[in-house]
Structure 1
Amino acid sequence: MRVVTPGELSEGEIEAWRELRAKTGAPANPFMEPEFAVAVGSVRPAARVAVLYEGDVPAGFFPYEKGPLGQGRAIGLGVSDCQGAILRAGLSVAPGALLRACSLSSWEFDNLEAGQVFRVDAAEEFDSPVIDVGDGYPAYEQVLRAQSPKFLKTTLAKERRLGRQVGEVRFVFDERDPAALRTLMEWKSAQYRRTGRRDRFAKEWINALVRRLHQTRAPGCSGVLSVLYVADKPVAAHFGLRSRTVLSCWFPAYDPEFAKYSPGLVLHLRMAEAAAAEGVGMLDLGRGDAEYKGALQTGRLRVSEGSSVRPGPLAALWWLSREPSRRAHSFVRARPRLAGYAQQTLNRVGRLRSR
């Protein structure tokens, strides 16, 4: 095994990573491709990749970030929607042995892919809603008409009303204009503040990562900025990553001025239509419950949260710093009334921020 920064991977290793990933049989999630690791490595100096060899042939890759005391985390933790190791089929690797070889006392994850070797260390599992457009967009619309007829009818009616009352509605699936990306990031920051949540775009490394990925073009990982325009003014936008067959939904936002038209929902329907036309078979909406995800989804994947820990004082320190908070969040999520109170508190915090 050798440990390198993502930018130090050779072309041969990157190609081997792609080949191993293609053979796993898992959905081709772009967060699991080498381009995402390299992009994170360009803005996160602590990013590393352990390359496992069988003779002269790469047999596995384990991307991670390492803290000063040996505490590890999934690469891009906080914004990565799919995490884990990329291993040759049949390769048996014990999580503890892998951590020891990387000099890690622990490894934290919050969107661990199903079937990973670290699954034994998962504390909780969550649904990640998906939209299946493998049979084409008309087939997806038929599913919506059956499972969410009121939602589809209302959303399409709002789209028509938007066109009549405001101006011509235009959708761009892959917008390259950096100004449109800046607009999306401003909307998303305002949304985070309005809802009392941590503003991810207040972190420069996330800003830089998104800008870099917007310029990334690779078969397994390309940045896609989708924008809904009305009278040539952007009213909703989304930035995500796509492979040949999967579009991972990441940062959606809209202009609150047009909220009564539900432009975010209209945007997602147009994204599904355009993705299907591009040969994408699945849109991964990401972990978490949201009303719009429930209306749009056709199925679900499972992801896990937890940590793999090697016994020792450093791991104990990490556990004390992380686990009580994680358990508190889990306790609240499992109790709808408490979760409702928590949401109300976040909303009040957001209103204070806005003032």
Structure 2
Amino acid sequence: MTLDLGRLRVDILATEDLSDSDVEQWQAIQASHPAFESPLLSADFAFAVSRARDDVRVAVYRRGDRAVGFLAHHRRPGGFGRPIGSPFSDYHALLCAADLGVSGPEAVRMAGLKAFRHNGLIDPHGLFAGTAEGQHTYAIELSGTPEAFLETVRAASPKKFKNYRRLQNRLAESGALRMGPDRSQATFDQIMGWKSEQFTRTGVQDVLKPDWTRRMMQSLFDTTDGRMTGLLLTLYAGDVLVGGHFGVMAAGVFHPWIASTNPELAALSPGQAFLDQAIRSMPALGIRVYDLGPGHDHYKKPFASTEREVGVGLTVVSGAIGTLPRVKESVWSLGGLDRVSAVSRIRKRLDHIAAVDPSASGRARGLLEAAWSIQKRLASADAKA
């Protein structure tokens, strides 16, 4: 589909319809600004997601015959757009230069969308000026040696890291700690299995359950060559698997989504031991940036060297075309409902369910699991009362 709106011409393409020139220009724009360096903003990630889902589209903004902007997204019914790879889209962006010539909402409208959900917007040019920030993401970047970096973070929280070191020493009683990339299918399956068990145990929707996420993760694990590869890092204590991180890596930036540890070692804080060993291994692994993404501040923040806010919210286009999304969004604000924490959590859970599994059966399953989780928590609260 092509839209010609005067200043820019917009092509709405499936990834397989992108030309070699389009992909080269995508890479050039991504390389033009450090804020765009995440593998999740790459054409390669869009291709990886499109191999698992059929609703991936890319709005290619052209000035003349030259591509000057890219908005990769999932095109959902009713003209609703979600970031590519959602809910694994810790970062997303309208990739373009500062002089695109239109605002973010105008770009969304030109893409033929009525609304676009943001849950990790990178916007260095301020095109989505009305989008709220507030979600924090964390990353580790070494300016010197790993040892010097770890000494700096220890100095900032000496008591906390003294305890981490004590628990890590106990962990090492099972055998020498060793960290590295892992190509074992059995280990990959174990890391994924532990994560799914954690989701079930904590009442969080299992993002690894839908067929498309399993296909995508397996495909990425199998991708060992190219600009972007899948990477599984594991930590062992002797012959005991302590835990692993799995995600994507490109140009020295590693972005893991899946972090899981051996539940039998939970008392020894294996997650902290993993990060300690991962930081020590970064130079040997060619990792320049270890991007921890958003959430779990208590776990990530003590180790992070950089922290930034990303955009969250909903962009709704102006005019009659955006009326229905605006009405749906405003319902959550009636009588100040959006300021009630329980309502806010329900809203986020419903949106998460919709993002995780686009199928009707998957959403129904997600609602049932959410109801079961609420019932379980209420029963637990009653038992403690």
TM-score range, shorter chain: 0.7 to 0.9
Distance 1:196 1:54, change over 3 A: same
Q: Specify the alignment match of 1:284 in structure 2.
A: 291
Distance 1:332 1:167, change over 3 A: same
1:191 CA displacement: 0.7
CA distance in 1, matches of 2:378, 2:47: 35
CA distance in 2, matches of 1:347, 1:293: 30
3-state SS of 2:204 partner? coil
Normalised to the residue count of structure 2, the TM-score between the two structures is: 0.80
Name which of 331, 341, 345 aligns with 1:332: 341
Distance 1:13 1:306, change over 3 A: same
Aligned residue type for 2:24: E
Aligned residue type for 2:229: S
Please give the residue correspondences for 1:14-25 in structure 2 after superposition, counting only pairs within 5 Å.
14-25=23-34
Aligned residue type for 2:249: R
Q: Specify the alignment match of 2:317 in structure 1.
A: 310
Distance 1:49 1:257, change over 3 A: same
Deviation string 1:187-240 (CA, Å, 9 cap, x unpaired) is 111111111111111112111111122233466532211111233232211112
1:292 CA displacement: 1.2
Aligned residue type for 1:170: R
Q: Percent identity?
A: 27
Q: Specify the alignment match of 1:112 in structure 2.
A: 121
Note the aligned Cα RMSD (angstroms).
Answer: 2.8
Distance 1:56 1:90, change over 3 A: same
Deviates more, 1:4-13 or 1:321-330: 321-330
Distance 1:314 1:235, change over 3 A: farther
2:221 is the alignment partner of 1:236: no
CA distance in 1, matches of 2:131, 2:25: 28
Q: Specify the alignment match of 1:215 in structure 2.
A: 222
Aligned residue type for 2:197: A
CA distance in 2, matches of 1:246, 1:163: 29
Judge conservation of contact 2:40–2:92 (CA < 8 Å) in 1.
yes
2:175 is the alignment partner of 1:171: no
Judge conservation of contact 2:36–2:95 (CA < 8 Å) in 1.
no
2:79 is the alignment partner of 1:70: yes
1:75 CA displacement: 1.2
2:281 is the alignment partner of 1:274: yes
Q: Specify the alignment match of 2:111 in structure 1.
A: 102
1:112 CA displacement: 0.4
Distance 1:321 1:40, change over 3 A: farther
CA distance in 2, matches of 1:328, 1:147: 39
Deviation string 1:61-96 (CA, Å, 9 cap, x unpaired) is 110111121111111121111101111342222233
Distance 1:199 1:234, change over 3 A: same
Deviation string 1:265-318 (CA, Å, 9 cap, x unpaired) is 111122222223344332222112431113212230111101211135663433
Judge conservation of contact 1:235–1:255 (CA < 8 Å) in 2.
yes
Structure of greater relative contact order (alpha carbons < 8 Å, 6+ residues apart): 1
1:6 CA displacement: 1.6
CA distance in 2, matches of 1:251, 1:278: 18
Aligned residue type for 1:63: A
Deviates more, 1:219-228 or 1:193-202: 219-228
Number of aligned residues: 341
Judge conservation of contact 2:30–2:36 (CA < 8 Å) in 1.
no
Aligned residue type for 1:274: S
3-state SS of 2:108 partner? helix
Distance 1:2 1:295, change over 3 A: same
2:48 is the alignment partner of 1:29: no
2:162 is the alignment partner of 1:153: yes
Aligned residue type for 1:167: G
CA distance in 2, matches of 1:311, 1:12: 33
3-state SS of 1:182 partner? helix
Aligned residue type for 2:109: R
Point out where structure 2 has 5 or more consecutive residues left out of the alignment. Answer: 1-9, 345-372, 381-385
Judge conservation of contact 1:125–1:303 (CA < 8 Å) in 2.
yes
Aligned residue type for 1:20: I
Aligned residue type for 1:34: A
Judge conservation of contact 1:194–1:351 (CA < 8 Å) in 2.
no
Judge conservation of contact 2:106–2:317 (CA < 8 Å) in 1.
no
Judge conservation of contact 1:2–1:52 (CA < 8 Å) in 2.
yes
1:110 CA displacement: 0.5
CA distance in 1, matches of 2:258, 2:247: 6
3-state SS of 2:40 partner? helix
Distance 1:13 1:350, change over 3 A: farther
Q: Specify the alignment match of 1:127 in structure 2.
A: 136
Distance 1:114 1:347, change over 3 A: farther
Aligned residue type for 1:268: L
Judge conservation of contact 1:245–1:279 (CA < 8 Å) in 2.
yes
Normalised to the residue count of structure 1, the TM-score between the two structures is: 0.86
Q: Specify the alignment match of 2:149 in structure 1.
A: 140
Distance 1:275 1:27, change over 3 A: farther
Point out where structure 1 has 5 or more consecutive residues left out of the alignment. Answer: 336-344
Q: Specify the alignment match of 1:264 in structure 2.
A: 271
2:8 is the alignment partner of 1:4: no
Q: Specify the alignment match of 2:89 in structure 1.
A: 80
